[in-house]
């Protein structure tokens, strides 16, 4: 039996509201009396049960799906569903009465779509919906006066029109928050923000609101004191931070903790993140907060000093990621002041900032540094450790073959001027990396100190040759002898140094190419002298390991030659004439090349003659 005429649902109207209009429309009865007559319980309407939907569809001729879409169905223990979204009870506010006074006053118009009856909107009952987009007003929301008010018949729960007029006048205006818009779009099936879209709508909402509250009002704000308008603002701020996912969330968390630390430099994650931390750490409800928990947990572990074994957001911390100066000092026994200086001098901490609880360092990096400080010796103790003398110890440091704990510790650097024992051991193992192990030195083999006296070269030059693997004849005595355990051949050292020094400057071929002359011409320039009796081009003479003498030419010497002399071809080019013409002109002036053209493959003139 369908009651005629059909009374359709108004766009956005709740099932409860529509049912409340059926009585007056069809039977001149109040909404509740009509339902009683039809034996439909108010609770079944509130819960939008399938049974109730079936009965209403039969009576009114409205499709079951249309009725279902206008209600919030109970789908389990404290779980509810509207459209395709499932959420908990804090999101679907059955405990509160919510309305826009301006909307209800408009409904009173007898020629309007509801023929003068008040219309309850389904959207009003969702917690992040706090403003009326139509009127730009903050909604009126108050706790229910009893269980019966779950049945949000606006005729019963909202005040009379005179009171509504006053309310509408007193209500602050507000824009719809970005979070409310997101929720409304999501109910319409419109997605677009991965991180938020993949969690339950109430989890996404709560994450945005907690984040937003701390962003806008500080981490330690009193949430109970925030007004509906304040919450609207937090929803927008939180949504802006969360819409792009983890990066945006971490940026917001960073901003919140910075602000907390600006107010007080002391304390751990609770001091930094306040309400967000308390919400996730001491949660009283069983509601799963969703992915926000892992994001905040990772942020805390990545930026704050958290001891392993502590429980953070329901899970034990398995490894420390960051150290504060205090925790690093505590766990390594190195004094805080020493650590602070060392961290600044190694550039881990900014030099101009006074490090306090806010500053944490990578745990591994901090522990390695502390360990190096702990296991270090002064330079004065190196001779004993390495079996060398004081000068050699100082030269090892000066040449950077081993380093002090920090670069340039300066005077009064205290323990930081030390050298890590590990670095000295590492030096010895690099020094001894190649060579034949022997019991006794072979003929002609000496340690680097003796060899340096033989070849008259600094000990460190020889050490460097060994480290650079430039020597092939190496013998290794017992490691106990440390610095003196590596034997070299002075003859090889001499030859290799000579070879290496041969690498400086330009070769004959380089010079010939540069000047555009024969290679034999370079020899003529080197062996023949100018008017002052000086060779045209001086060479650096080196004796190679084979005993042959080699000639190299310093870059500056070649440049000097080019400044003093010029080839005919270049001169002609500079004068914009043919070489033949210039040669004839010079001949007329009795200016001659420095030597016969055939010797060099070019006619070269002294610039001073021109
Ligand atoms: Zn309104």
Ligand 1 centroid, distance to 122 Cα (angstroms): 13
Ligand 1 centroid, distance to 100 Cα (angstroms): 5
Q: Which of 88-102, 364-378, 534-548 has the lowest mean pLDDT?
A: 534-548
Q: 439-469 pLDDT, tens per residue? A: 999 999 999 999 999 888 889 999 999 999 9
Ligand 1 centroid, distance to 149 Cα (angstroms): 21
Cβ(3)–Cβ(26) under 8 Å? Answer: yes
Ligand 1 centroid, distance to 155 Cα (angstroms): 16
Ligand 1 centroid, distance to 120 Cα (angstroms): 11
Ligand 1 centroid, distance to 91 Cα (angstroms): 21
Rounded to 5 degrees, what angle do the CA atoms 477, 478, 480 make? 130
Write out the H or E segment, with its range, that includes residue 446.
Answer: strand 446-447
Which pLDDT band holds residue 283 (cuts at 50, 70, 90)? confident
* pLDDT for position 381: 96
Ligand 1 centroid, distance to 180 Cα (angstroms): 15
Ligand 1 centroid, distance to 49 Cα (angstroms): 28
**Torsions phi, psi of 99, nearest 5?**
-160, 165
Q: Which of 57-66, 305-314, 546-555 has the lowest mean pLDDT?
A: 546-555
* pLDDT for position 89: 87
Q: Please return the burial class of 133, using the count of CB atoms within 10 Å of its CB with bins 0-12, 13-18 and 19+.
A: middle
Q: 232: which 2 tokens?
A: 């609207």
pTM above 0.75, yes or no: no
**Torsions phi, psi of 401, nearest 5?**
-70, -35
Q: 593: which 2 tokens?
A: 């090349």
Ligand 1 centroid, distance to 137 Cα (angstroms): 7
* Strands (DSSP E) found in 116-155: 131-132, 137-138, 140-143
* pLDDT for position 386: 95
Residue 296 pLDDT more than 60?
A: yes
* Mean pLDDT computed over 405-419: 83
In the Cβ-directed half-sphere of 27, how many Cα atoms lie within 13 Å? 17
Cβ(338)–Cβ(369) under 8 Å? Answer: no
- Give the integer Cα–Cα distance in Å for 602 and 512: 11
- Residue 131, beta-bridge partner list: 138
For a pLDDT cut of 70, what percent of the chain falls above it? 97
Ligand 1 centroid, distance to 78 Cα (angstroms): 29
- Give the integer Cα–Cα distance in Å for 80 and 596: 107
* Mean pLDDT computed over 517-546: 83
Residue 355 pLDDT more than 60?
A: no
Ligand 1 centroid, distance to 513 Cα (angstroms): 90
Ligand 1 centroid, distance to 118 Cα (angstroms): 12
- Give the integer Cα–Cα distance in Å for 410 and 421: 20
3-state helix, strand, coil in the chain (%, to 5): 50, 10, 35
- Give the integer Cα–Cα distance in Å for 220 and 237: 17
* pLDDT for position 4: 83
- Give the integer Cα–Cα distance in Å for 197 and 194: 5
Ligand 1 centroid, distance to 139 Cα (angstroms): 8
Q: Which of 24-28, 156-160, 290-294, 549-553 has the lowest mean pLDDT?
A: 549-553
Ligand 1 centroid, distance to 511 Cα (angstroms): 91
Mapping DSSP to helix (H, G, I), strand (E, B) and coil, where does residue 322 land? strand
Ligand 1 centroid, distance to 206 Cα (angstroms): 25
For residue 405, how far is the Cα from the chain centroid? 28
Q: 238-255 pLDDT, tens per residue? A: 999 999 899 999 999 999
Ligand 1 centroid, distance to 28 Cα (angstroms): 27
Assess whether the previous peptide bond of 478 is cis (omega < 30° from 0). Answer: no
- Give the integer Cα–Cα distance in Å for 26 and 2: 11
Which pLDDT band holds residue 356 (cuts at 50, 70, 90)? low
Q: 25: which 2 tokens?
A: 């429309």
* Mean pLDDT computed over 549-563: 87
* Mean pLDDT computed over 50-61: 94
Ligand 1 centroid, distance to 168 Cα (angstroms): 9
Q: What single string gives the DSSP state of each residue in 300-363?
A: HHHHS---TT-EETTEE--S--EEEHHHHHHHH---HHHHHHHHHHTTSS-TTS---TT-EEEH
* pLDDT for position 548: 64
Closest of 288, 214, 226, 314 to residue 256, by C-alpha: 214
* Pairwise pLDDT comparison (598 vs 100), residue with the higher score: 100
* Mean pLDDT computed over 338-357: 78
Closest of 92, 40, 1 to residue 18, by C-alpha: 40
Which pLDDT band holds residue 3 (cuts at 50, 70, 90)? confident
* pLDDT for position 423: 95
* Mean pLDDT computed over 370-399: 94
* Pairwise pLDDT comparison (226 vs 545), residue with the higher score: 226
Ligand 1 centroid, distance to 79 Cα (angstroms): 28
Mean pLDDT of the chain: 91
Report the b/e string of 487-521 with b at 16+ CB within 10 A. bbbbebbbbbbebeebeebbbbebbbebbebeeeb
* pLDDT for position 378: 95
Please state whether beta strands 474-476 and 436-437 pair in parallel, antiparallel, or not at all (unpaired). parallel
- Give the integer Cα–Cα distance in Å for 386 and 377: 12
What is the phi-psi region of residue 7: left when phi exceeds 0, alpha when psi lies from -120 to 50, beta otherwise?
beta
Q: 132-176 pLDDT, tens per residue? A: 999 999 999 999 999 999 999 999 999 999 999 999 999 988 889
Ligand 1 centroid, distance to 27 Cα (angstroms): 29
Helix (H), strand (E), coil (C) string for 140-161: EEEECCCHHHHCCCHHHHCCCH
Residue 467: other Cβ atoms inside 10 A = 16
Ligand 1 centroid, distance to 112 Cα (angstroms): 15
- Give the integer Cα–Cα distance in Å for 557 and 573: 24
Ligand 1 centroid, distance to 131 Cα (angstroms): 8
Write out the H or E segment, with its range, that includes residue 74.
Answer: strand 73-76
For residue 604, how far is the Cα from the chain centroid? 64
Q: 346: which 2 tokens?
A: 């190694």
Ligand 1 centroid, distance to 99 Cα (angstroms): 8
Closest of 375, 303, 363 to residue 334, by C-alpha: 375
């Amino acid at each position: 039996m369908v009651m005629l005429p059909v009374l359709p649902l108004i766009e956005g109207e709740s099932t409860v509201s529509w049912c409340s209009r059926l009585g007056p429309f069809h039977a001149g009865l109040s909404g509740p009396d009509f339902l009683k007559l039809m034996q439909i319980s108010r609770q079944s309407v509130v819960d939008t049960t399938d049974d109730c939907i079936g009965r209403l569809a039969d009576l009114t001729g409205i499709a079951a799906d249309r009725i279902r879409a206008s209600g919030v169905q109970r789908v389990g223990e404290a779980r509810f569903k509207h459209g395709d979204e499932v959420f908990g009870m804090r999101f679907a506010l059955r405990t509160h009465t919510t309305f826009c006074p301006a909307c209800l006053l408009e409904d009173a118009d007898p020629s309007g779509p509801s023929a003068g009856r008040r219309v309850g909107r389904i959207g009003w009952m969702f917690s992040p919906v706090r403003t009326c987009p139509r009127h730009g007003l903050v909604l009126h929301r108050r706790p229910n006066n009893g269980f019966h008010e779950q049945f949000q018949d606006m005729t019963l729960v909202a005040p009379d029109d005179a009171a509504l007029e006053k309310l509408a006048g007193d209500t602050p205006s507000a824009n719809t928050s970005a979070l409310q818009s997101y929720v409304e779009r999501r109910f319409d099936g419109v997605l677009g923000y991965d991180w938020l879209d993949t969690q339950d709508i109430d989890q996404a909402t709560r994450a945005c609101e907690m984040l937003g509250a701390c962003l806008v009002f500080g981490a330690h704000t009193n949430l109970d004191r925030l007004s509906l308008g304040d919450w609207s603002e937090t929803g927008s701020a939180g949504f802006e931070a969360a819409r792009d996912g983890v990066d945006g969330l971490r940026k917001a968390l960073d901003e919140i903790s910075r602000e907390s630390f600006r107010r007080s430099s002391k304390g751990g994650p609770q001091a930094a993140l306040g309400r967000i931390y308390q919400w996730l750490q001491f949660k009283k409800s069983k509601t799963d907060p969703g992915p926000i928990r892992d994001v905040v947990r990772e942020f805390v572990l990545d930026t704050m000093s958290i001891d392993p074994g502590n429980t953070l957001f329901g899970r034990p911390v398995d490894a420390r990621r960051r150290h504060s100066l205090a925790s690093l000092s505590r766990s390594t026994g190195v004094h805080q002041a020493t650590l602070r200086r060392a961290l600044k001098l190694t550039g881990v901490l900014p030099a101009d900032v006074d490090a306090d609880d806010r500053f944490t360092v990578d745990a591994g990096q901090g522990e390695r540094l502390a360990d190096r400080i702990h296991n270090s010796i002064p330079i004065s103790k190196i001779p004993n450790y390495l079996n060398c003398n004081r000068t050699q110890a100082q030269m090892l440091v000066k040449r950077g073959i081993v380093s002090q704990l920090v670069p340039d510790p300066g005077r009064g650097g205290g323990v930081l001027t030390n050298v890590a024992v590990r670095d000295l051991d590492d030096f010895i193992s690099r020094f001894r990396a190649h060579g034949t192990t022997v019991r006794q030195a072979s003929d002609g083999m000496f340690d680097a100190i003796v060899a340096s006296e033989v070849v008259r070269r600094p000990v460190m030059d020889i050490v460097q040759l060994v480290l650079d693997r430039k020597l092939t004849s190496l013998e290794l005595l017992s490691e106990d002898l440390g610095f003196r355990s590596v034997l070299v051949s002075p003859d090889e050292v001499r030859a290799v140094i000579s070879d290496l020094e041969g690498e400086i400057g330009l070769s004959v071929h380089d010079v010939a190419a540069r000047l555009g002359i024969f290679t034999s011409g370079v020899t003529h320039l080197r062996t023949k002298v100018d008017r002052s009796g000086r060779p045209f081009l001086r060479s650096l003479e080196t004796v190679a390991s084979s005993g042959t003498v080699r000639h190299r030419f310093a870059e500056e010497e070649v440049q000097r030659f080019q400044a003093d002399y010029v080839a005919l071809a270049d001169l002609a080019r500079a004068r914009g004439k043919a070489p033949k013409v210039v040669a004839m002109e010079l001949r007329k002036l009795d200016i001659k090349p420095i030597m016969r053209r055939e010797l060099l493959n070019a006619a070269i003139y002294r610039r001073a003659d021109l």
